[in-house]
Amino acid sequence: MKRTPISALLDGFPVVLAPMEDVTDAAFRRIARSLGAAVCMTEFVGVEQLVASSALAERRAGLAADDRPTGIQIYGADPELLVAAARIAAAREPAFIDLNCGCWVPAIARRGAGAGWLRDPGAMVAMVRRITAAVSLPVTVKTRIGWGPESHMPIVDLARRLEDAGIAALTIHCRTAAMGHRGAADWSWAARAQAVVEIPVIVNGDIRSADDVVRALAETGCAAVMIGRAAIDDPWIFRATRARLAGVPTEPPTEAERRAIYRALLEASIATRGERGGVHSTKRHAGVLSPALRQRVVQARDLAEAYAAIA
């Protein structure tokens, strides 16, 4: 496999925290790292917002000194804006810049951004080539196996073309854009792509446990896996995976640890969004708590009630 800057990042621990909107903010990345994650990614950042220096873009693309190695993911439909945004992101000195060519959400894809690029793989490759030429940092791409039915899955040929365009790694969510999150992810497509390129391929989709990580690496021969939705309720998956790969036992999180993690996320969110927004936004992480406490925090109307729920 071709050695790239991303290869070095994955050598110690071949697992990446996926970019997830309204989830993988700085606070969640800090929690994930405390539990064993190494390489993390930001929430995706719209190129229009980044170029306009909006408050949202500044928050999503801001990287503290202890928030590394982290990749900044950007998305958009306009190649000119993508190039401009990539240069702005590069100035933040992330470990790499990731291009979102896989978001299937209709509001994103129908305007040509995210997975919308899969409708015209040639245009995607041309856009990627412009960005790799415009910045000195490594550029990666996250995409899906295709737009629609199996007959239109271009991922194997696309992987070759993206490698030629200069990317340092390729993440493949092993569903089509049309599938969204429905159906099973077919990891065999990532295996086929890794077999024809020298850059690292990162397999994504249905990685729900440490055992899944081991199985995905063995079945695909890929350089790494990317963990997304499973980490929202179970950030301890990184700790369990480190233990599983090292062949040592690990303990499940204690009740006190679950409460401490939720409290840390709550306080960080309040610091960023204010009390009302922080209490509300942290509810998406209620799954880190035991079932007995989840309903209580979901019903909390203010900070006092949220604290009381986890006291």
> Residue 296 — φ and ψ, nearest 5°?
-65, -45
**Residue 297: inside a domain:** yes
Q: Mean pLDDT, to the nearest integer, of 55-81?
A: 96
Confidence of residue 311 (pLDDT cuts 50, 70, 90): confident
CATH of the domain at 129: 3.20.20.70
Q: What is the β-pairing status of strands 70-75 and 40-41?
A: parallel
Q: How much is the pLDDT for 148? A: 81
* Stretch (H or E) spanning 161: helix 155-164
How many CB atoms are closer than 10 A to CB 271? 11
Domain ranges, residue 304 = 255-310
* Domain co-membership, 120 together with 100: yes
What's the rounded Cα separation, in Å, for the pair 226 and 244?
A: 16
Given this model, what pLDDT does residue 150 score?
57
Query: What 3-state class would DSSP assign to 181?
Result: coil
Nearest-angstrom CA–CA distance, 192 and 54: 40
Q: How many structural domains is the chain composed of?
A: 2
Q: Do 158 and 299 sit in the same domain of this protein?
A: no
pLDDT at 35 (0 to 100): 96
Average pLDDT over residues 259-269: 95
Chain position carrying tokens 């993911």: 73
pLDDT at 4: 78
Same domain, 117 and 236: yes
Q: Which of 101, 103, 174, 222 is catalytic?
A: 103
Looking at the structure, tell me whether residues 231 and 259 fall in a common domain.
no
Residues 95-141 have pLDDT tens digits of 999 999 999 999 999 999 999 999 999 999 999 999 999 999 999 99
Question: Above 60 in pLDDT, residue 58?
Answer: yes
Please report whether residue 225 resides in a domain: yes
* Residues 256-273, mean pLDDT to the nearest whole number: 94
Last residue within a domain, chosen from 246, 264, 296: 246
Residues 236 and 287 both lie in one domain: no
Residue 40 annotated among the catalytic residues of the structure: no
Amino acid at 155: I
